[in-house]
A and B are shown apart, each in its own frame.
Chain A
Amino acid sequence: MSVEQAQAQEQQASTIRLRWGRGLAWLALFVLLIILAGGLLRNQQGAVSVGERIPEFTLTTFDGQTLRSADLRGKVLVINFWASWCKPCEQEAADLEAAWRFYQPRGDVLFLGIAYVDTEPEARAYLEKFGITYPNGPDLGTRISQAFRIRGVPETYIVDREGTLQFVQIGPFRSLSQIKSAIDPLLQP
């Protein structure tokens, strides 16, 4: 093999390498953009809105009980996102518990408390402080709050018997009657 041949071969090999390199660079950029677009699309969907079905979730309560949203169909659900570090949550805590005690005997209304980005001892202390008796559990890995795409705490989602979201409260409820007026329309037969 002459020197020219070897050089030509080397030239050819380097051209092929370059072509592959280019292809890979473009592919990497393309994949990256797809991923970003995917994230953006989901983000643009925004929060779960009234009239939509709520996302399915599983909540393990502080007592170790496991609740699946799918098993709770047929009941009106009041899902409250809160945190022990959240001051405005404290404003509504007593009213929420009073509302729970009011509806609990009926059996067809269930309150669920979901502790957002919280530590267990502090969350338990909070529940004890306000004497809260309805099921509460931590949102492990913020999965539930992300599924609902909450903006902050407190936020409350009220769901009808078919699993359709009917009411959203951003920020704390101001009174017991406000909570009742949101739940009562869903209890008509």
Chain B
Amino acid sequence: MITELGYGTLAITFFLALYGIGAAIWGVQKRKPEWVESARNAMLLTFPLLTISCASMIYLLVNGNYEVEYVSSVTSNSMPLYLRITALWGGQAGSLLFWSWLMSAFASAVTLRNWQRDREFLPWVIVVSLVTLGFFLGLTLFVENPFDRLWLLPNGIAVKSFFAREGAIPFYQSDGKGLNPLLRHPGMIVHPPMLYLGFVSFVIPFAFAIAALITNRTDDRWIQITRRWSLVAWLFLSLGLILGARWAYDVLGWGGYWGWDPVEIAAFMPWLTGTAFLHSVMIQEKRGMLKHWNMILIILTYNLVIFGTFLTRSGVLSSVHSFAQSAIGPLFFVYIGASSALSLGLLLHRWQDLKTDLHMTSVLSREALFLLNNLLFMGILVICFWGVIFPLLSEIITGQKVTVGPPFYERATAPLFAALLLLMGIAPLAAWRHSTLQTLGKAVWKPTLVSLLAPLTAVLLGVRNLAALIGFWLAAFVACVTLYEYGRAAIARSRTHGESLPLAFWNLVGRNRRRYGGYIIHLGVVLMAIGILGIELFQKETQATLARGEELRLGPYTMRFESLAVFDTADGRNVARAVVSVYKNGRFVGELYPRRDYYYESQQPMTIPGVRSTMEDDFYVLLVDWQPISSAGATFKVYQNPLVNWLWLGGFVFILGTLIAAWPESEKSPAIARAKRQAPLGAEAS
């Protein structure tokens, strides 16, 4: 019954999406606004309908209805409630349904905005959103149906199908296979939804961009409307990436946070174009330039979202680690081909209309530096894209799949990231339109001088690595410039408004959230950079097999192997848990419990490290192997990860800054309107 309900609402939503596309186009063609209005209602309805469908799926998962193939493949009796719910996105079919549901949430939300001023966009925004949604619904409905049931044919073979097969009887199982143990981590529970939210919310700015191209409304309106949408999309995407890094650090058991895996890069690429887009729209808003460029960036972002989803789900790249082989690959291919060709064609068709006569007036102006920042982001994108596409290319040409590893990406992108940091320090101090070396130098010299203290301190502390010194200086430089900007503006405000300094500071951020939120994001990046420098350049590791009571040393740490126990748990795991004592510079600092869980039902092991975290470093212990009979000896892999917690702290600050920048401003409040009138001209510029 519930299975039928879920499947039925899914099917209805699919046809509703098709209807919405048709009605919107028809309404424009025949100039019948009531048809467009009907399409809008159709799009509004997709969210409640898919909510029912998702709720049905969750009901089946929680209830353990193992006759449904998806339920039996991702849940089992021993799984706790919260994992059964999150199993909704634990496999291909369910996560497609979940993707569609999130997409419909954004599509429905966009119908609810006030369309009075930009009525002409409405039908095309509906068409783009519903085509995207319809594609994913079609995949869910016809190719990867999460509601498919298992049937037993007369010859004893089990097949999956939604409708009853002739002569087949329903196949009821008493237990399922269970969720992949790697996915049973809090980070993994939140990470995919955040990433999906980031992906689907970029569809909305894209839809407006396409609407602007089709209606030939080439002013800045589409950018003004989608500014906050883009920020929200970017927020979710950033959050998804950070949580993914944290998950890798906690679970994957190699002491790393980012492995340049194709799947990671697939999510990173739209983030790169999205970040470039967020910066370059400011130039269009302030100076009316770069209209072509912004269109290119948003089109790229959308297509990279689809491309990334394709890469992870079609099994084109790593046939072992991604979702199992499936028929959705070719369909995705056709969709990517069509969407990129159509958007490219449309852009080229409107190329002349997007032209402006404005030109850069100075190579040191803020717009020029922003453009440079964009080019650097594009450079990193090209490197990532090349790395991802290279195995496919080499397979076609030489017949062998040659993959490029992390060293390629690290070497190629590191200088670009360093240049980005430098720009992050300089650009906020440059003026719009016109800046000379002299004006810029005048603004920069004080923070530069202060920032030199950082590498000097590092040298005094014994750091001799040149890359690290440059990196620390860049981080300190950006931090000094940003704090200097805050300080200067807050002091100015406290003078003109007669406010106390903290109040002036608070009001400053509140009155210009976009600018100061952006600066907080920059500070977050600085903290993350410090963490990355620490772990990348100063990580130490060792491995040793220890008998009980034996010790190993790593940096200032000494670790003693105390004991090991192997036992079964009630939820179907076999756990091997070691107890080790950790001493730092000879002083006891605590016990750690690295362990290895073996999941019987899915036959998969999972390594859970024992970690001692401080802002200075993480001491990270993995249990690699042990003697099962005597329990006398065990092998450990041990890492010292300096400064890594700055990375997580930076991630937190980064997200906080994005929230501030994206927070809706209550423009109707008279106090703010007054403040805006009173504010000096310079304070508005950002």
Query: Which residues 152-189 of A have a CB within 8 angstroms of B?
Result: 152, 171
- Contacting A40 at CB < 8 Å: which of B333, B403, B624? B333
User: Are the C-beta atoms of A37 and B333 separated by less than 8 Å?
Assistant: yes
User: Are the C-beta atoms of B314 and A43 separated by less than 8 Å?
Assistant: yes
**Residue A134 interfacial (CB < 8 Å):** no
**Residue B115 interfacial (CB < 8 Å):** no
* Cα distance, A29 to B351, chains bound together (Å): 17
* Cα distance, A171 to B341, chains bound together (Å): 43
Taken residue by residue from 381 to 404, chain B's Cβ proximity to chain A (1 for < 8 Å, 0 otherwise) reads as: 000000001011101100011110
**Residue B675 interfacial (CB < 8 Å):** no
Q: From residue A60, how far is it (CB to closest CB) to chain B in Å?
A: 16
User: Which of B341, B389, B392, B605 gathers the greatest number of chain A CB atoms within 10 Å?
Assistant: B392
* Cα distance, A171 to B402, chains bound together (Å): 27
Q: Which residues of B contact A43 (CB under 8 A)?
A: 314-316, 319, 325, 329
**Residue A51 interfacial (CB < 8 Å):** no
- Contacting B401 at CB < 8 Å: which of A29, A35, A40, A146? A146
* Cα distance, A40 to B396, chains bound together (Å): 11
Select from chain A the residue with minimum beta-carbon distance to B393: A35
**Residue B507 interfacial (CB < 8 Å):** no
**Residue B330 interfacial (CB < 8 Å):** yes
* Cα distance, A35 to B603, chains bound together (Å): 36
Size of A's binding interface in residues, CB under 8 A:
34
Q: Which residues of B contact A38 (CB under 8 A)?
A: 392, 395-396
**Residue B459 interfacial (CB < 8 Å):** no
Q: Which residues of B contact A35 (CB under 8 A)?
A: 389, 392-393, 396
* Cα distance, A151 to B322, chains bound together (Å): 10
Query: Which residues 430-484 of B have a CB within 8 angstroms of A?
Result: none
User: Which of B319, B340, B635 gathers the greatest number of chain A CB atoms within 10 Å?
Assistant: B319
Q: Which residues of A contact B325 (CB under 8 A)?
A: 43, 46
User: Are the C-beta atoms of A36 and B624 separated by less than 8 Å?
Assistant: no
Q: Which residues of A contact B624 (CB under 8 A)?
A: 122
**Residue B337 interfacial (CB < 8 Å):** yes
Query: Which residues 120-170 of A have a CB within 8 angstroms of B?
Result: 121-122, 125, 141-143, 145-146, 149-152
Select from chain B the residue with minimum beta-carbon distance to A153: B320
Q: From residue A18, how far is it (CB to closest CB) to chain B in Å?
A: 7
Q: Which residues of B contact A3 (CB under 8 A)?
A: none
User: Are the C-beta atoms of A36 and B336 separated by less than 8 Å?
Assistant: yes
Taken residue by residue from 593 to 611, chain B's Cβ proximity to chain A (1 for < 8 Å, 0 otherwise) reads as: 0000010000111000000
**Residue A101 interfacial (CB < 8 Å):** no
**Residue A65 interfacial (CB < 8 Å):** no
Query: Which residues 319-357 of B have a CB within 8 angstroms of A?
Result: 319-320, 324-325, 329-330, 333, 336-337, 340-341, 344, 348, 351
**Residue B625 interfacial (CB < 8 Å):** yes
Q: From residue A96, how far is it (CB to closest CB) to chain B in Å?
A: 17
Q: Which residues of A contact B314 (CB under 8 A)?
A: 40, 43
**Residue A22 interfacial (CB < 8 Å):** yes
User: Are the C-beta atoms of B316 and A87 separated by less than 8 Å?
Assistant: no
Q: Which residues of A contact B337 (CB under 8 A)?
A: 33
Q: From residue B416, how far is it (CB to closest CB) to chain A in Å?
A: 21
Query: Which residues 80-128 of B have a CB within 8 angstroms of A?
Result: none
User: Are the C-beta atoms of A39 and B392 separated by less than 8 Å?
Assistant: yes
Q: Provided the pairs A26-B344, A40-B316, A40-B329 are in contact, do residues A87 and B402 lie with their beta carbons within 8 angstroms? A: no
**Residue A85 interfacial (CB < 8 Å):** yes
* Cα distance, A32 to B336, chains bound together (Å): 11
User: Are the C-beta atoms of B392 and A87 separated by less than 8 Å?
Assistant: no
Q: Which residues of A contact B389 (CB under 8 A)?
A: 32, 35
User: Are the C-beta atoms of A36 and B393 separated by less than 8 Å?
Assistant: no
Select from chain B the residue with minimum beta-carbon distance to A28: B344
- Contacting B605 at CB < 8 Å: which of A36, A85, A122? A85
* Cα distance, A38 to B394, chains bound together (Å): 11
User: Are the C-beta atoms of B604 and A87 separated by less than 8 Å?
Assistant: yes
**Residue A106 interfacial (CB < 8 Å):** no
User: Which of A18, A22, A43, A86 gathers the greatest number of chain B CB atoms within 10 Å?
Assistant: A43
Q: Which residues of A contact B351 (CB under 8 A)?
A: 18
User: Are the C-beta atoms of A25 and B320 separated by less than 8 Å?
Assistant: no
User: Are the C-beta atoms of B320 and A145 separated by less than 8 Å?
Assistant: yes
User: Are the C-beta atoms of B329 and A87 separated by less than 8 Å?
Assistant: no
* Cα distance, A38 to B329, chains bound together (Å): 12
Q: Which residues of B contact A85 (CB under 8 A)?
A: 605
* Cα distance, A122 to B319, chains bound together (Å): 24
Q: Which residues of B contact A26 (CB under 8 A)?
A: 344
Select from chain A the residue with minimum beta-carbon distance to B599: A87
**Residue A2 interfacial (CB < 8 Å):** no
* Cα distance, A39 to B344, chains bound together (Å): 23
User: Are the C-beta atoms of B319 and A149 separated by less than 8 Å?
Assistant: yes
User: Are the C-beta atoms of B330 and A44 separated by less than 8 Å?
Assistant: yes
User: Are the C-beta atoms of B320 and A151 separated by less than 8 Å?
Assistant: yes
Select from chain B the residue with minimum beta-carbon distance to A31: B393
Q: Which residues of B contact A29 (CB under 8 A)?
A: 340-341, 344
Q: Which residues of B contact A22 (CB under 8 A)?
A: 348
Q: Which residues of B contact A32 (CB under 8 A)?
A: 389
Q: From residue B19, how far is it (CB to closest CB) to chain A in Å?
A: 30
**Residue A74 interfacial (CB < 8 Å):** no
User: Are the C-beta atoms of B395 and A42 separated by less than 8 Å?
Assistant: yes
Q: Which residues of A contact B329 (CB under 8 A)?
A: 40, 43-44
* Cα distance, A122 to B543, chains bound together (Å): 11
Q: Provided the pairs A38-B396, A40-B316, A145-B320 are in contact, do residues A25 and B348 lie with their beta carbons within 8 angstroms? A: yes
User: Are the C-beta atoms of B392 and A151 separated by less than 8 Å?
Assistant: no
Query: Which residues 55-92 of A have a CB within 8 angstroms of B?
Result: 85-88
Select from chain A the residue with minimum beta-carbon distance to B543: A121
Q: Which residues of A contact B605 (CB under 8 A)?
A: 85-87
User: Are the C-beta atoms of B320 and A40 separated by less than 8 Å?
Assistant: no
Taken residue by residue from 8 to 29, chain A's Cβ proximity to chain B (1 for < 8 Å, 0 otherwise) reads as: 0000000000100010011001
Q: From residue B355, how far is it (CB to closest CB) to chain A in Å?
A: 10
**Sample of 26 A–B contacts (CB below 8 Å):** A18-B351, A22-B348, A26-B344, A33-B333, A33-B337, A35-B389, A35-B393, A36-B316, A38-B392, A38-B396, A40-B329, A43-B325, A44-B329, A85-B605, A87-B603, A87-B605, A88-B603, A122-B625, A125-B625, A125-B635, A141-B402, A143-B400, A143-B401, A146-B319, A146-B401, A152-B320
* Given A25-B348, A122-B625: 6 more A-B contacts, CB < 8 Å: A33-B340, A36-B333, A39-B391, A43-B316, A43-B329, A143-B400
Residues of B within 8 A of A (CB): 314-317, 319-320, 324-325, 329-330, 333, 336-337, 340-341, 344, 348, 351, 389, 391-393, 395-396, 400-403, 543, 598, 603-605, 624-625, 635
Instruction: State the 9 A-B residue pairs at the shortest beta-carbon distance, nearest first.
Output: A39-B392, A38-B396, A39-B316, A87-B605, A88-B603, A35-B392, A43-B316, A33-B337, A40-B329
